[in-house]
A and B are shown apart, each in its own frame.
Chain A
Amino acid sequence: MKKELLIPLLLLMIPIVMTGQTEADLTSRCVLNAGPNTTYLKDHVIKLPKAVSGREMPVVKENIYLMKGTKYRFTLCNSDDSKGELIVGIYEKDRKIISSYDEKGGKTYGSIDFICNKTGMYTLWYSFREGEQGMGIGVVSLLR
Protein backbone atom coordinates (compact mmCIF):
# COMPACT_ATOMS: atom_id res chain seq x y z
CA MET A 1 0.00 0.00 0.00
CA LYS A 2 2.89 2.32 0.80
CA LYS A 3 4.28 1.84 -2.71
CA GLU A 4 0.87 2.57 -4.19
CA LEU A 5 0.82 5.83 -2.28
CA LEU A 6 4.42 6.80 -2.97
CA ILE A 7 4.34 6.52 -6.75
CA PRO A 8 1.45 8.94 -7.36
CA LEU A 9 2.93 11.27 -4.79
CA LEU A 10 6.28 11.31 -6.55
CA LEU A 11 4.55 11.81 -9.87
CA LEU A 12 2.67 14.74 -8.42
CA MET A 13 5.86 16.24 -7.03
CA ILE A 14 7.86 16.10 -10.27
CA PRO A 15 6.29 19.08 -12.02
CA ILE A 16 6.33 21.05 -8.77
CA VAL A 17 9.99 20.42 -8.09
CA MET A 18 10.82 20.95 -11.77
CA THR A 19 9.09 24.32 -11.84
CA GLY A 20 10.99 25.48 -8.77
CA GLN A 21 14.32 24.39 -10.21
CA THR A 22 13.62 25.73 -13.66
CA GLU A 23 12.96 29.26 -12.49
CA ALA A 24 16.07 29.52 -10.32
CA ASP A 25 18.30 27.69 -12.80
CA LEU A 26 16.99 29.71 -15.69
CA THR A 27 17.65 32.97 -13.85
CA SER A 28 21.22 31.88 -12.99
CA ARG A 29 21.79 30.82 -16.58
CA CYS A 30 20.44 34.09 -17.86
CA VAL A 31 22.65 36.12 -15.51
CA LEU A 32 25.63 34.20 -16.91
CA ASN A 33 24.36 34.70 -20.47
CA ALA A 34 24.65 38.43 -19.98
CA GLY A 35 28.34 37.88 -20.63
CA PRO A 36 31.60 39.24 -19.25
CA ASN A 37 31.97 42.85 -18.15
CA THR A 38 28.43 43.02 -16.88
CA THR A 39 27.08 43.54 -13.38
CA TYR A 40 23.70 42.09 -12.44
CA LEU A 41 21.08 44.64 -11.42
CA LYS A 42 17.71 42.92 -11.48
CA ASP A 43 15.65 40.23 -13.17
CA HIS A 44 12.07 39.83 -14.27
CA VAL A 45 10.40 36.44 -14.41
CA ILE A 46 7.87 36.42 -17.24
CA LYS A 47 5.07 33.86 -17.56
CA LEU A 48 2.34 34.53 -20.07
CA PRO A 49 -0.55 32.59 -21.56
CA LYS A 50 -1.19 32.24 -25.28
CA ALA A 51 -2.87 35.22 -26.87
CA VAL A 52 -6.58 34.93 -27.51
CA SER A 53 -7.68 36.13 -30.93
CA GLY A 54 -9.55 39.41 -30.84
CA ARG A 55 -8.02 40.35 -27.52
CA GLU A 56 -4.89 42.29 -26.66
CA MET A 57 -1.57 40.48 -26.77
CA PRO A 58 -0.51 39.36 -23.26
CA VAL A 59 2.28 41.59 -22.03
CA VAL A 60 4.12 42.24 -18.76
CA LYS A 61 5.17 45.84 -18.17
CA GLU A 62 7.99 46.60 -15.74
CA ASN A 63 8.99 50.15 -14.90
CA ILE A 64 12.65 50.92 -14.44
CA TYR A 65 14.75 54.02 -13.88
CA LEU A 66 17.64 54.28 -16.31
CA MET A 67 20.39 56.78 -15.70
CA LYS A 68 22.24 59.02 -18.15
CA GLY A 69 25.80 58.03 -18.92
CA THR A 70 25.15 54.36 -18.15
CA LYS A 71 25.25 51.37 -20.50
CA TYR A 72 22.65 48.72 -19.78
CA ARG A 73 22.30 45.22 -21.17
CA PHE A 74 18.89 43.55 -21.33
CA THR A 75 19.32 39.81 -21.72
CA LEU A 76 16.47 37.45 -22.56
CA CYS A 77 16.26 33.73 -21.86
CA ASN A 78 13.53 31.19 -22.53
CA SER A 79 12.73 28.14 -20.44
CA ASP A 80 13.24 24.84 -22.28
CA ASP A 81 9.51 24.14 -22.37
CA SER A 82 8.50 27.63 -23.43
CA LYS A 83 6.53 27.61 -26.67
CA GLY A 84 7.15 31.26 -27.30
CA GLU A 85 10.30 33.29 -27.69
CA LEU A 86 10.63 36.12 -25.19
CA ILE A 87 10.94 39.61 -26.60
CA VAL A 88 11.32 42.97 -24.89
CA GLY A 89 10.52 46.50 -25.96
CA ILE A 90 12.02 49.53 -24.24
CA TYR A 91 9.48 52.32 -23.98
CA GLU A 92 9.65 55.82 -22.64
CA LYS A 93 6.11 56.64 -21.61
CA ASP A 94 4.22 55.13 -24.56
CA ARG A 95 6.92 55.76 -27.14
CA LYS A 96 8.83 52.72 -28.28
CA ILE A 97 12.59 53.23 -28.41
CA ILE A 98 13.61 49.74 -29.45
CA SER A 99 12.42 46.14 -29.50
CA SER A 100 14.44 42.94 -29.46
CA TYR A 101 12.15 41.74 -32.26
CA ASP A 102 12.77 43.24 -35.67
CA GLU A 103 9.34 42.85 -37.26
CA LYS A 104 10.52 43.79 -40.77
CA GLY A 105 13.44 41.38 -40.84
CA GLY A 106 11.69 38.79 -38.67
CA LYS A 107 14.77 38.55 -36.50
CA THR A 108 14.79 38.17 -32.73
CA TYR A 109 17.76 39.32 -30.67
CA GLY A 110 18.73 37.66 -27.40
CA SER A 111 19.83 40.92 -25.88
CA ILE A 112 19.82 44.69 -26.26
CA ASP A 113 22.63 47.02 -25.25
CA PHE A 114 21.20 50.41 -24.39
CA ILE A 115 23.42 53.46 -24.07
CA CYS A 116 21.29 55.75 -21.96
CA ASN A 117 21.60 59.51 -22.28
CA LYS A 118 18.38 60.53 -20.60
CA THR A 119 17.68 59.82 -16.96
CA GLY A 120 14.11 58.84 -16.28
CA MET A 121 11.49 56.19 -15.93
CA TYR A 122 11.27 53.68 -18.76
CA THR A 123 8.97 50.72 -19.20
CA LEU A 124 10.03 47.28 -20.37
CA TRP A 125 7.27 45.52 -22.29
CA TYR A 126 7.81 41.78 -22.16
CA SER A 127 5.83 39.48 -24.44
CA PHE A 128 6.28 36.30 -26.42
CA ARG A 129 6.70 36.40 -30.18
CA GLU A 130 3.44 35.75 -32.08
CA GLY A 131 1.59 35.83 -28.76
CA GLU A 132 2.64 32.31 -27.86
CA GLN A 133 2.41 30.92 -24.37
CA GLY A 134 5.77 31.01 -22.66
CA MET A 135 8.08 31.42 -19.75
CA GLY A 136 11.32 33.33 -19.72
CA ILE A 137 13.60 35.63 -17.79
CA GLY A 138 14.71 39.16 -18.55
CA VAL A 139 17.93 40.22 -16.82
CA VAL A 140 19.00 43.85 -16.53
CA SER A 141 22.76 44.36 -16.12
CA LEU A 142 25.20 47.21 -16.14
CA LEU A 143 27.67 47.06 -18.98
CA ARG A 144 31.13 48.04 -17.82
Chain B
Amino acid sequence: MMGKNILVIIGMMVFLAACQNRRGGDVQFTFEEADTFPVAEAEKLSAEAIDDIVRNISSPVEIAALLQSMNVPFTIDYLASTGDVDRLSTNFEKALKLGIYGADLGYLNIYERTGNSVEVLQAIKKLADGIRVGQFFDFETIRRLSVSRSNLDSLLFLSVQSYNQIDEHLRDNQRGHLSALMITGVWLEGQYLATQVVQNYPDEILKNRIGEQKIIINDLMMLLAPYCDGNREFRLLCEKMESLRDKYRDIRITYTLGEPETLEVDGRLTVIQNEESNVEMTDEQLHEIIELTKTIRNELIAGR
Protein backbone atom coordinates (compact mmCIF):
# COMPACT_ATOMS: atom_id res chain seq x y z
CA MET B 1 0.00 0.00 0.00
CA MET B 2 2.82 2.35 0.96
CA GLY B 3 4.61 1.57 -2.31
CA LYS B 4 1.45 2.45 -4.21
CA ASN B 5 1.26 5.80 -2.38
CA ILE B 6 4.84 6.59 -3.26
CA LEU B 7 4.09 5.86 -6.89
CA VAL B 8 1.08 8.17 -6.76
CA ILE B 9 3.20 10.93 -5.19
CA ILE B 10 5.91 10.52 -7.81
CA GLY B 11 3.26 10.61 -10.52
CA MET B 12 1.82 13.82 -9.10
CA MET B 13 5.28 15.36 -8.80
CA VAL B 14 6.01 14.66 -12.45
CA PHE B 15 2.62 16.10 -13.41
CA LEU B 16 3.06 19.21 -11.29
CA ALA B 17 6.61 19.75 -12.44
CA ALA B 18 5.36 19.66 -16.00
CA CYS B 19 2.70 22.22 -15.16
CA GLN B 20 5.26 24.44 -13.47
CA ASN B 21 7.36 24.90 -16.58
CA ARG B 22 6.52 28.32 -17.95
CA ARG B 23 6.66 27.37 -21.57
CA GLY B 24 5.69 23.79 -20.99
CA GLY B 25 2.79 24.93 -18.84
CA ASP B 26 0.97 25.24 -22.10
CA VAL B 27 -0.55 21.98 -23.15
CA GLN B 28 1.53 20.40 -25.89
CA PHE B 29 -0.42 19.51 -28.99
CA THR B 30 0.55 17.43 -31.92
CA PHE B 31 -0.30 18.95 -35.24
CA GLU B 32 -1.01 17.20 -38.46
CA GLU B 33 1.81 16.81 -40.89
CA ALA B 34 0.21 19.30 -43.31
CA ASP B 35 0.44 22.04 -40.72
CA THR B 36 4.21 22.00 -40.62
CA PHE B 37 6.36 23.63 -43.24
CA PRO B 38 9.42 22.07 -44.82
CA VAL B 39 12.51 24.19 -44.52
CA ALA B 40 15.79 23.17 -46.05
CA GLU B 41 18.38 22.52 -43.39
CA ALA B 42 20.80 24.99 -44.91
CA GLU B 43 18.21 27.75 -44.84
CA LYS B 44 17.38 27.44 -41.19
CA LEU B 45 18.33 30.38 -39.03
CA SER B 46 19.55 29.51 -35.57
CA ALA B 47 16.84 29.57 -32.92
CA GLU B 48 18.75 32.35 -31.19
CA ALA B 49 18.87 34.49 -34.34
CA ILE B 50 15.15 34.03 -34.94
CA ASP B 51 14.46 34.84 -31.33
CA ASP B 52 16.40 38.09 -31.63
CA ILE B 53 14.56 39.12 -34.77
CA VAL B 54 11.11 38.23 -33.50
CA ARG B 55 11.53 39.88 -30.13
CA ASN B 56 12.88 43.03 -31.64
CA ILE B 57 10.61 43.90 -34.48
CA SER B 58 9.56 47.38 -33.57
CA SER B 59 6.55 47.30 -31.29
CA PRO B 60 3.29 48.71 -32.66
CA VAL B 61 2.76 50.11 -29.18
CA GLU B 62 5.80 52.34 -29.72
CA ILE B 63 4.41 53.69 -33.00
CA ALA B 64 0.99 54.31 -31.43
CA ALA B 65 2.58 55.97 -28.38
CA LEU B 66 4.64 58.18 -30.68
CA LEU B 67 1.50 59.27 -32.55
CA GLN B 68 -0.24 60.00 -29.27
CA SER B 69 2.71 62.07 -28.06
CA MET B 70 2.42 64.10 -31.29
CA ASN B 71 -1.24 64.77 -30.41
CA VAL B 72 -2.38 62.94 -33.52
CA PRO B 73 -6.07 62.13 -33.03
CA PHE B 74 -7.29 58.55 -33.18
CA THR B 75 -8.64 57.57 -36.61
CA ILE B 76 -10.73 54.44 -36.91
CA ASP B 77 -10.27 54.40 -40.69
CA TYR B 78 -6.70 53.25 -40.22
CA LEU B 79 -7.84 49.96 -38.74
CA ALA B 80 -8.24 46.80 -40.79
CA SER B 81 -11.84 45.65 -41.17
CA THR B 82 -12.80 42.67 -39.03
CA GLY B 83 -15.80 41.84 -41.19
CA ASP B 84 -14.28 39.03 -43.24
CA VAL B 85 -12.60 37.00 -40.52
CA ASP B 86 -14.93 34.04 -41.07
CA ARG B 87 -14.07 34.03 -44.76
CA LEU B 88 -10.37 33.34 -44.18
CA SER B 89 -9.64 29.74 -45.06
CA THR B 90 -5.88 29.22 -45.02
CA ASN B 91 -3.54 29.31 -42.07
CA PHE B 92 -1.43 31.75 -44.08
CA GLU B 93 -4.24 34.30 -44.15
CA LYS B 94 -5.18 33.69 -40.52
CA ALA B 95 -1.64 34.10 -39.16
CA LEU B 96 -0.99 37.24 -41.18
CA LYS B 97 -4.27 38.79 -40.08
CA LEU B 98 -3.57 37.79 -36.49
CA GLY B 99 -0.50 40.00 -36.68
CA ILE B 100 -2.36 42.86 -38.36
CA TYR B 101 -5.07 42.86 -35.70
CA GLY B 102 -2.41 42.63 -33.00
CA ALA B 103 -0.98 45.93 -34.18
CA ASP B 104 -4.48 47.43 -34.37
CA LEU B 105 -5.09 46.27 -30.81
CA GLY B 106 -1.92 48.08 -29.71
CA TYR B 107 -3.18 51.27 -31.40
CA LEU B 108 -6.63 50.94 -29.79
CA ASN B 109 -5.14 50.20 -26.38
CA ILE B 110 -2.81 53.20 -26.39
CA TYR B 111 -5.66 55.49 -27.37
CA GLU B 112 -7.96 53.69 -24.90
CA ARG B 113 -10.58 53.22 -27.63
CA THR B 114 -12.12 50.33 -25.80
CA GLY B 115 -15.49 50.47 -27.53
CA ASN B 116 -13.78 49.52 -30.78
CA SER B 117 -11.39 47.00 -29.30
CA VAL B 118 -14.01 44.33 -28.54
CA GLU B 119 -14.55 43.63 -32.25
CA VAL B 120 -10.81 43.39 -32.84
CA LEU B 121 -10.43 41.12 -29.81
CA GLN B 122 -13.16 38.83 -31.09
CA ALA B 123 -11.46 38.65 -34.47
CA ILE B 124 -8.14 37.86 -32.80
CA LYS B 125 -9.74 35.09 -30.75
CA LYS B 126 -11.31 33.52 -33.85
CA LEU B 127 -8.05 33.62 -35.76
CA ALA B 128 -6.03 32.30 -32.83
CA ASP B 129 -8.51 29.43 -32.45
CA GLY B 130 -8.34 28.94 -36.20
CA ILE B 131 -4.62 28.19 -36.07
CA ARG B 132 -5.07 26.34 -32.76
CA VAL B 133 -3.28 28.75 -30.48
CA GLY B 134 -6.40 30.24 -28.89
CA GLN B 135 -5.46 28.73 -25.54
CA PHE B 136 -2.72 31.35 -25.18
CA PHE B 137 -4.99 34.30 -25.73
CA ASP B 138 -6.65 35.30 -22.48
CA PHE B 139 -9.60 36.80 -24.28
CA GLU B 140 -11.88 37.31 -21.28
CA THR B 141 -9.32 39.08 -19.08
CA ILE B 142 -8.10 41.27 -21.91
CA ARG B 143 -11.67 42.15 -22.89
CA ARG B 144 -12.53 42.97 -19.26
CA LEU B 145 -9.46 45.16 -18.80
CA SER B 146 -10.14 46.83 -22.10
CA VAL B 147 -13.79 47.61 -21.44
CA SER B 148 -13.21 48.74 -17.85
CA ARG B 149 -10.25 50.94 -18.85
CA SER B 150 -8.87 49.93 -15.47
CA ASN B 151 -5.20 49.56 -16.15
CA LEU B 152 -3.49 50.25 -19.45
CA ASP B 153 -0.24 48.60 -18.39
CA SER B 154 -1.99 45.37 -17.40
CA LEU B 155 -3.82 45.40 -20.69
CA LEU B 156 -0.65 45.92 -22.67
CA PHE B 157 1.18 43.36 -20.56
CA LEU B 158 -1.46 40.67 -21.13
CA SER B 159 -1.78 41.45 -24.83
CA VAL B 160 1.98 41.32 -25.36
CA GLN B 161 2.29 38.15 -23.26
CA SER B 162 -0.47 36.44 -25.24
CA TYR B 163 1.24 37.22 -28.53
CA ASN B 164 4.61 36.15 -27.17
CA GLN B 165 3.20 32.83 -26.00
CA ILE B 166 1.50 32.22 -29.34
CA ASP B 167 4.74 32.99 -31.10
CA GLU B 168 6.82 30.74 -28.83
CA HIS B 169 4.35 27.90 -29.20
CA LEU B 170 4.31 28.14 -32.98
CA ARG B 171 8.08 28.13 -33.18
CA ASP B 172 8.42 25.30 -30.69
CA ASN B 173 6.05 23.18 -32.76
CA GLN B 174 7.69 23.49 -36.17
CA ARG B 175 5.15 26.08 -37.25
CA GLY B 176 7.69 28.91 -37.43
CA HIS B 177 6.24 29.94 -40.81
CA LEU B 178 3.03 31.00 -39.05
CA SER B 179 5.04 32.91 -36.45
CA ALA B 180 6.92 34.68 -39.26
CA LEU B 181 3.60 35.63 -40.87
CA MET B 182 2.23 36.94 -37.60
CA ILE B 183 5.33 39.08 -37.03
CA THR B 184 5.15 40.35 -40.63
CA GLY B 185 1.50 41.31 -40.08
CA VAL B 186 2.33 43.22 -36.89
CA TRP B 187 5.15 45.10 -38.55
CA LEU B 188 3.26 45.88 -41.75
CA GLU B 189 0.25 47.28 -39.91
CA GLY B 190 2.50 49.45 -37.70
CA GLN B 191 4.25 50.67 -40.85
CA TYR B 192 0.88 51.34 -42.51
CA LEU B 193 -0.28 53.34 -39.51
CA ALA B 194 2.90 55.46 -39.45
CA THR B 195 2.86 56.07 -43.22
CA GLN B 196 -0.81 57.04 -43.23
CA VAL B 197 -0.37 59.51 -40.39
CA VAL B 198 2.79 61.11 -41.78
CA GLN B 199 0.83 62.38 -44.80
CA ASN B 200 -1.22 64.67 -42.57
CA TYR B 201 1.35 65.14 -39.81
CA PRO B 202 4.76 65.42 -41.52
CA ASP B 203 6.65 65.41 -38.24
CA GLU B 204 10.42 64.88 -38.50
CA ILE B 205 10.48 62.25 -35.76
CA LEU B 206 7.78 60.24 -37.51
CA LYS B 207 9.52 60.58 -40.88
CA ASN B 208 12.73 59.37 -39.30
CA ARG B 209 10.91 56.47 -37.66
CA ILE B 210 9.66 55.38 -41.08
CA GLY B 211 13.16 55.74 -42.56
CA GLU B 212 14.68 53.75 -39.70
CA GLN B 213 12.51 50.81 -40.68
CA LYS B 214 15.26 50.10 -43.20
CA ILE B 215 17.01 48.27 -40.37
CA ILE B 216 13.89 46.34 -39.36
CA ILE B 217 12.78 45.29 -42.84
CA ASN B 218 16.16 43.68 -43.43
CA ASP B 219 15.65 41.56 -40.32
CA LEU B 220 12.11 40.76 -41.35
CA MET B 221 13.29 39.50 -44.72
CA MET B 222 15.77 37.21 -42.95
CA LEU B 223 12.88 35.81 -40.95
CA LEU B 224 10.76 35.21 -44.06
CA ALA B 225 13.57 33.98 -46.32
CA PRO B 226 13.47 30.30 -45.31
CA TYR B 227 9.82 30.06 -46.35
CA CYS B 228 9.82 32.17 -49.50
CA ASP B 229 9.97 29.21 -51.89
CA GLY B 230 7.55 27.10 -49.89
CA ASN B 231 4.33 27.84 -51.71
CA ARG B 232 2.62 30.42 -53.90
CA GLU B 233 1.26 32.52 -51.03
CA PHE B 234 4.70 32.85 -49.46
CA ARG B 235 6.34 33.54 -52.80
CA LEU B 236 3.97 36.44 -53.45
CA LEU B 237 4.39 37.83 -49.95
CA CYS B 238 8.17 37.71 -50.22
CA GLU B 239 8.05 39.46 -53.60
CA LYS B 240 5.92 42.24 -52.14
CA MET B 241 8.14 42.65 -49.09
CA GLU B 242 11.26 42.54 -51.26
CA SER B 243 9.86 45.36 -53.41
CA LEU B 244 9.30 47.42 -50.26
CA ARG B 245 12.85 46.71 -49.13
CA ASP B 246 14.03 47.95 -52.52
CA LYS B 247 12.42 51.31 -51.80
CA TYR B 248 14.66 51.58 -48.73
CA ARG B 249 17.83 50.70 -50.61
CA ASP B 250 18.97 54.30 -51.20
CA ILE B 251 17.91 55.68 -47.85
CA ARG B 252 21.00 56.35 -45.78
CA ILE B 253 21.38 56.12 -42.04
CA THR B 254 24.43 57.96 -40.77
CA TYR B 255 25.85 58.37 -37.28
CA THR B 256 27.31 61.28 -35.31
CA LEU B 257 29.64 60.38 -32.46
CA GLY B 258 29.23 61.68 -28.92
CA GLU B 259 29.73 60.61 -25.31
CA PRO B 260 26.72 59.85 -23.11
CA GLU B 261 25.88 62.18 -20.22
CA THR B 262 24.85 60.65 -16.94
CA LEU B 263 23.00 62.39 -14.13
CA GLU B 264 20.95 61.48 -11.11
CA VAL B 265 17.44 62.94 -10.99
CA ASP B 266 15.39 62.32 -7.82
CA GLY B 267 17.52 59.28 -7.06
CA ARG B 268 16.98 57.89 -10.54
CA LEU B 269 19.85 57.31 -12.93
CA THR B 270 19.32 59.16 -16.22
CA VAL B 271 21.42 58.80 -19.34
CA ILE B 272 21.32 61.15 -22.30
CA GLN B 273 22.84 59.61 -25.37
CA ASN B 274 24.76 62.13 -27.40
CA GLU B 275 25.67 59.78 -30.19
CA GLU B 276 23.06 60.23 -32.91
CA SER B 277 21.63 58.36 -35.84
CA ASN B 278 20.39 60.42 -38.78
CA VAL B 279 18.11 59.36 -41.59
CA GLU B 280 18.71 60.77 -45.06
CA MET B 281 15.51 60.31 -47.01
CA THR B 282 13.99 62.50 -49.72
CA ASP B 283 10.30 63.37 -49.88
CA GLU B 284 10.07 61.32 -53.04
CA GLN B 285 11.52 58.26 -51.33
CA LEU B 286 9.10 58.72 -48.46
CA HIS B 287 6.20 59.07 -50.87
CA GLU B 288 7.13 55.84 -52.64
CA ILE B 289 7.31 54.01 -49.32
CA ILE B 290 3.91 55.38 -48.27
CA GLU B 291 2.30 54.27 -51.51
CA LEU B 292 3.85 50.83 -51.65
CA THR B 293 3.13 50.12 -47.98
CA LYS B 294 -0.52 50.97 -48.58
CA THR B 295 -0.74 48.79 -51.68
CA ILE B 296 0.89 45.77 -50.04
CA ARG B 297 -1.11 46.05 -46.85
CA ASN B 298 -4.42 46.42 -48.68
CA GLU B 299 -3.65 43.57 -51.07
CA LEU B 300 -2.78 41.25 -48.22
CA ILE B 301 -5.90 42.21 -46.30
CA ALA B 302 -7.97 41.48 -49.40
CA GLY B 303 -6.25 38.11 -49.76
CA ARG B 304 -4.48 38.98 -53.00
Chain A interfacial positions (CB closer than 8 Å to B): 1, 4-5, 8-9, 12-13, 16, 19-20, 23, 27-28, 31-32, 34, 38-43, 45, 62-65, 67-70, 90, 97-98, 100, 109-121, 142, 144
Contacts and interface: CB of A to CB of B under 8 A. Distances in A.
Contact of B273 (A13, A41, A114): A114
22 contacts: A5-B8, A8-B9, A13-B16, A38-B153, A39-B156, A40-B153, A41-B160, A62-B55, A65-B56, A65-B216, A67-B212, A69-B209, A70-B66, A109-B267, A110-B268, A114-B270, A115-B271, A115-B272, A115-B273, A117-B258, A117-B276, A118-B277
Interface residues of B, number: 52
A68 to B, nearest CB: 5
B210 to A, nearest CB: 11
Nearest to A69: B205
Contacts of B13: 12
B113 to A, nearest CB: 15
DSSP majority for the B interface? helix
Contacts of B276: 68, 117-118
Interface string B184-213: 000000000000000000000100110010
B62 A97 contact: no
Contacts of A144: 65, 69
Contact of A39 (B52, B152, B212, B216): B152
Nearest to A99: B269
B78 interface: no
A113 B268 contact: yes
B298 to A, nearest CB: 26
Contacts of A39: 61, 65, 110, 152-153, 156
A118 B273 contact: yes
Nearest to B213: A119
B182 to A, nearest CB: 16
A64 B65 contact: no
A97 B273 contact: yes
A23 B25 CA distance: 14
B49 to A, nearest CB: 10
A118 B9 contact: no
Given A42-B160, A69-B208, A112 B271 contact: yes
Given A109-B269, A113-B265, A65 B153 contact: no
A70 B97 CA distance: 28
Given A4-B5, A120-B277, A64 B110 contact: no
Nearest to B8: A5
Nearest to A73: B268
Contacts of A100: 269
A100 B270 CA distance: 10
Interface string B1-36: 100010011001100110110100000000000000
B262 A67 contact: no
Contacts of B56: 63-65, 121
Contacts of A116: 273
B274 interface: yes
B59 interface: yes
Nearest to B17: A16
Contacts of A64: 55-56
B83 interface: no
A70 B57 CA distance: 16
A28 B154 contact: yes
A86 B216 CA distance: 30
A31 B153 contact: yes
